[in-house]
Amino acid sequence: MQKTFFLKTLVVLALTLLIAIPLSLIQSTISERMRFRDEAVRSIATDSVREQTVIGPLLVIPYTDEYEEEHTVGEPQKIRTVKRIESRRLLVFPNELRIEGNIDTDHRYRGIHKVLVYSGQHALSGDFVLPKRTDIKQEKPSSKITMGQPFVALSIEDVRGIRNIPGINWNGKQIEFQQGSNLAGFPIGLHAPLDQLDLENPVSVQFNFDLQLDGIERLHFSPVAKNNHVTLTSKWPHPQFSGRFLPSPKTRIVNAQGFSATWDISALATNAQQQLAGVGQSEVSAKNVHPDYFSVGFIEPINTYSQADRAIKYGLLFVALTFAAFFLFELLKQLPVHPVQYLLVGLALALFFLLLVSLSEHVSFLPAYLIASGACISLTGFYLSHVLQNLKRGFGFGAALTLLYAVLYGLLRSENNALVMGSILLFGVLSTIMIATRKVDWYQIGKPANGGSV
């Protein structure tokens, strides 16, 4: 009867929605594993070293500004002269800054989770144009300026990553860096104390030093100079460039042997100097300073958890397409499939995603995908060959599932083309259904073959 047909349709729809429950539970498991992985990253960063951000070098010139102010006090009013002394710092940015870095990578493990760490050897060089004494800010023209000891400051996010004791060559003189940047906004880092500077006849001072710096996953630089030229090379073939500035397309090389990238950034293109102008003052907090930066990420090209999370979003579509194929088979071949058999096949399809994420924790994503999909295809094909009472029919469904899993893998590998590939898949499925049922008389479904009553 026509009523039976619509009842079976409702049952299939209900089973499809029922399979959404285990799919949701598996997605929760994947999200939980993603959190465990993030905790592993934080744990390794806590025990060893964090992401690194390098700001500098900066030339800091401390000085005191001593001046007198007149105040009217008392009754009758009297003029009283008050002497004030304020401590200030003049921040001088490099004129030219060149950084050449060569970065090696390795893995750290926390249980089954692995995290990429890096070790960089960086050569920094450039020059500072010393300011004139008249450029120093003073409260009043009559102020008395007393110069303090200048120093070169270098802010580093996590000094545990420093693997050498760097010394700066300052205009031919070798000076060893000491702990702390002495910058109020970014106190962690290094500083090199200098002799008094001749600001009456300012000149350009050359500098250079080497810095060996370890970190985890990402390395950031702030373009603090008037002209910044940064070149980074590594054997890691999957860099992720980010931040406010990307490397020049003409000089960027990324291949299986590694990468080489160059940034040429002018002070006219960044607000880093304006953003950092106050970090020499004691009242400035790092929370209020967010300088421009550019960065390179050393991360795995395929995050197994994010891939599995993307895959399971197609889970309900998998089940719906498979159930639709069963339903059409029932319709065209007049071979009934029991709701329990629908349910068992749906559960097998759902377990694929659980197998995928569990296997990918121990082997790379592609072998995990092949094993999980192969196991589900084999089980479903074997089961359906008995349900449909024909070996060829079972293998036919297995072949269709193989094609479906292949398309899913293509969607996961090509995130930029996922929409168009998914649209083509849905269009292909709809076309197949329409072609297969083009001769079906839907009004005759469920009626007796000879028009008699049931």
Torsion of CA 157, 161, 164, 169, to 10 degrees: -20
Domains and CATH numbers, the chain: 2-38+305-444 (no CATH), 50-300 (2.60.40)
CA-to-CA distance for 119 and 40, rounded, in angstroms?
19
> Could you tell me the pTM of the whole model?
0.69
- Condensed to tens digits (0 to 9), the pLDDT of residues 405-425 reads 887 787 777 655 656 666 776
Contact indicator for 104, 196 with CB cutoff of 8 Å: no
CB 54 within 8 A of CB 213: yes
pLDDT band of residue 119 (cuts 50, 70, 90) is very high
pLDDT digits (tens, 9 = 90+) for 65-114: 887 776 666 666 677 776 777 788 888 999 999 999 999 998 877 666 67
Task: Give just the sign of the alpha carbon dihedral 380, 383, 386, 387.
Answer: negative
Percentage of residues of the chain with pLDDT beyond 70: 82
Residue with tokens 């499925």: 429
pLDDT for position 174: 93
- Gyration radius from the chain CA atoms: 34
What does the pLDDT average to over 193-217? 89
